[in-house]
């Protein structure tokens, strides 16, 4: 019986060490990027995924030349990193695109002026893809 308990204890200890040593994936330190549209208006979005952060930096450096426009789901409330606007991109939804369907296209000020309509026929599901969006720079954290 003692040997059985010792073996079970050893197995349990090995399992606990394995579980204790595995760490969940850590989110990247947030990075903030400014973009501009055809109206000259500027907005800022937050990225928390290391892959997306690198994609944005590749766009700014000129390494990425095709998927350069911003796409994501908007949240109907201000964010500290996007001053002057009553909405912001959900950081976990932001992606970059080359071409998208017209139903998600709008300028930055148009979204602000029609925010109460967003999520229905205008920007269905709150997905926004400003076709004329252009990343301009990485900005410091707010």
- Rounded mean pLDDT, 76-93: 98
Given a cut of 70, whether residue 9 has pLDDT beyond it is no
Residue-range domain boundaries for the chain: 31-139
pLDDT for 28 equals 77
Burial class (CB in 10 A: 0-12, 13-18, 19+), 21: exposed
pLDDT for 99 equals 87
pLDDT for 17 equals 34
CB-based contacts of 136, cutoff 8 Å, min separation 6: 34, 35, 36, 42
pLDDT for 2 equals 47
Q: What is the pTM of this model?
A: 0.79
- Rounded mean pLDDT, 2-26: 39
The DSSP secondary-structure symbol of 91 reads G
User: What's the mean pLDDT when you consider all of the chain?
Assistant: 86
pLDDT band at 51 (very low <50, low <70, confident <90, very high): very high
- Rounded mean pLDDT, 28-54: 97
- In tens, the pLDDT along 99-119 reads 877 889 999 999 999 999 999
Q: List the one residue out of 33, 125, 32 whose CA is nearest residue 75.
A: 125
Q: What is the DSSP string of 100-126?
A: --GGG---HHHHHHTGGGEETTEEETT
Given a cut of 90, whether residue 26 has pLDDT beyond it is no
């Amino acid at each position: 019986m003692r040997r059985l308990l010792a073996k079970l204890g050893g197995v349990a200890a090995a399992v606990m060490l394995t579980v204790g040593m595995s760490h969940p994936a850590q989110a990247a330190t947030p990075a903030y990027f400014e973009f501009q549209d055809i109206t000259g208006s500027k907005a800022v979005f937050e990225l928390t995924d290391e892959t997306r952060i690198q994609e944005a930096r590749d766009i700014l450096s000129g390494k990425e030349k095709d998927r350069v426009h911003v796409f994501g789901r908007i949240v109907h409330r201000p964010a500290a990193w996007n001053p002057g606007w009553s909405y912001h991109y959900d950081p976990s939804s932001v992606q970059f695109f080359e071409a998208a369907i017209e139903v998600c296209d709008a300028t930055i000020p148009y979204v602000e002026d029609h925010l109460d309509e967003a999520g229905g026929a205008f920007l269905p599901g709150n997905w926004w893809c400003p076709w004329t969006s252009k990343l301009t720079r990485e900005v410091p954290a707010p």
